[in-house]
């Protein structure tokens, strides 16, 4: 299978009533586990390199890792830059073989966010790459507070930027370690009424699984970003593997025991977003 763009996987999802998981990666073992999970479920998957991942692995290395996995996979795999905060990040990712970039101008005034996102989208499309943008602001658990997406601003943002996917703030929060109160479905419907661009939920780990499944099959939300709940599974599996033999020191042997439970956890996430 070849590398897929975000548009390649989200347009069918929008048409056919399901969502695709954007799984936040930090290293080779979780990337490989997520692709194995997608193959087992027979669904596409979006591998995401966010700021935390990029802080310890250079973009050219990440691009090569993602492409290696995509080219050997039996399902579509999207190599996606998550939260690119400046044009340099996005352009470097495009040059390094990423098939999709997210430009995050959500902290900036609307007009500036539109202008800068539109420029990135134009450059991405010229290279055959997809572009995601964010309107409103998705906050962080214990940190910056969210600013909900205004439906009229969302309509303007989607139209004037030409993006392939639009991240929205509708009660979702990054880094939430347990399910919160759920998403604001009234606001989602108001946004849907004004634009037909595929919608994205960042902070998907904090969304109750039943609501994730329902919205995946009955709304314009075509992408749920999932990171925290899978990182929690990784941590639990790592602690258990080390505790089984405190004298063991070989990283490869320890990691072999982590991938199966992480793959199973990812399969559960992916299964919940499949068509009904």
Residue carrying the six token digits 């409103």: 136
Token code pair at residue 254: 């320890």
82 is catalytic: yes
Q: Which H helix or E strand runs over 217?
A: helix 209-218
Residue 156 backbone dihedrals phi, psi, to 5 degrees: -65, -45
For residues 205 and 183, is the Cβ–Cβ distance under 8 A? no
- Catalytic residue chosen out of the listed positions 8, 30, 82, 89: 82
Alpha helices in 23-170 (DSSP H): 28-41, 51-56, 59-72, 87-95, 110-126, 151-161
Contacts of 3 (CB under 8 A, 6+ apart): 66, 67, 70, 71, 77, 78, 79, 97, 99
Active site residues per annotation: 82
């Amino acid at each position: 299978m070849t590398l897929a763009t975000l548009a390649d996987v989200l347009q069918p999802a929008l048409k056919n009533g399901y969502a695709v998981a954007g799984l936040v990666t930090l290293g080779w073992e979780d990337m490989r586990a997520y692709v194995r999970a997608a193959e087992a479920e027979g669904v596409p998957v979006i591998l995401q390199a966010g700021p935390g991942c990029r802080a310890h692995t250079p973009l050219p290395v990440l691009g090569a890792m993602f492409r290696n996995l995509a080219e050997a996979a039996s399902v579509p795999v999207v190599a996606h830059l998550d939260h690119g905060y400046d044009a340099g990040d996005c352009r470097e990712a495009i040059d390094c073989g990423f098939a999709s970039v997210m430009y995050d101008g959500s902290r900036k005034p609307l007009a500036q966010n539109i202008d800068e996102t539109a420029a990135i989208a134009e450059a991405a499309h010229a290279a055959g790459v997809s572009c995601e943008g964010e309107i409103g602001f998705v906050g962080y658990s214990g940190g910056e507070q969210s600013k909900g997406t205004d439906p009229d601003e969302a309509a303007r943002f989607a139209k004037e930027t030409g993006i392939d996917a639009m991240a929205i703030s509708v009660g979702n929060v990054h880094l939430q370690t347990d399910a919160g109160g759920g998403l604001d479905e009234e606001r989602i419907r108001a946004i849907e009424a004004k634009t037909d661009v595929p919608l994205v939920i960042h902070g998907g780990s904090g969304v109750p699984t039943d609501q994730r499944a329902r919205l995946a099959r009955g709304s314009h939300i075509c992408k749920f970003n999932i990171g925290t709940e899978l990182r929690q599974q990784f941590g639990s599996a790592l602690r258990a593997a080390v505790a089984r033999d405190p004298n063991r020191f070989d990283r490869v042997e320890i990691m072999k025991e982590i991938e199966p439970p992480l793959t199973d956890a990812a399969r559960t996430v992916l299964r919940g977003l499949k068509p009904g």
